[in-house]
Amino acid sequence: MSNSLAIGFVGTGVMGRSMASHLLKAGYSVHIFNRTRDKAQALLEAGAHWHDSAGDVAAVSDVVITMLGFPTDVESSYLGKGGIVEKAKQGALLIDMTTSSPLLARRISEAAAHRGLASLDAPVSGGDIGAREARLVIMVGGEKADFERAKPIFELLGKNISLLGAAGAGQYCKMANQISVAVGMVAWCEALAYARKAGLDPAAVHQSISGGAAGSWALTTLAPRALSGDFAPGFYVKHILKDMRIALESAAELGLELPGLAVAKGLYDKVAEHGWEDCGTQALYRFYTSL
């Protein structure tokens, strides 16, 4: 894709802000909307163009990317009156990078096709660090031709980029990712809580086990934050709860039980009950230390 094209970016939060910044640095004309304008201020100062709604962004963009919080945000932004599908330019490519519902991804694809638009569901993994360093994992559902059209943009945002299948496939893959993430968070939190209760230094135990068979990205990246008392969000508790709800609903539709994920969700529900839903997911360790 030529960087003479206009790219719309809707949702400039923790991750979206960094992602849109990479597109600006690559020379694209970037048009943005965010519910809280203050969170877009750095992008505006860097040359992005502000619009007052997602639909207004779509009306002037050749490619529209969304990075939102919840499926309800995605649905209203794309399918609501005056939204992206209604106002997008003919032939535009719509890319939802929110972690959302596979069934909603299919509905958006169908609505977009009805208007002569292309669409991809392309949720990501990698958190705030992956977004900042442009090394996100990008999981894509949609048509191959549309994937190839979007690939130069994806390559500015991530390193591991895969087309998994038709519309909705990216979201199914992301649900698989989130199942592994959520259950894995329980594993390292319980391991370090156990070490602490046994009178060991959790930081020393972390150093011992993180490089072996127990190792994981979360243990390497998030556990040190938790041990230092840093619960700032790279990925919000409220968002992992949203993802677990989607995964459990999707699994039920597929006739599959996920008991490990159900346990993880129950634990994160307790984290939220403590008032920590705006903390990072590593706040689960904070829950264990409060027991």
Active centre residues (catalytic): 174
Q: What residues does 63 pair with on adjacent strands?
A: 7, 93
188: Cβ contacts below 8 Å, ≥ 6 apart: 214, 216, 218, 219, 222, 223, 285
Tokens (6 digits) for 64 = 């529209």
Q: What residues does 138 pair with on adjacent strands?
A: 124, 161
Tokens (6 digits) for 63 = 């490619």
Phi, psi at residue 230, to the nearest 5°?
-95, 105
213: Cβ contacts below 8 Å, ≥ 6 apart: none
Closest CA to 8 of 87, 124, 116: 87
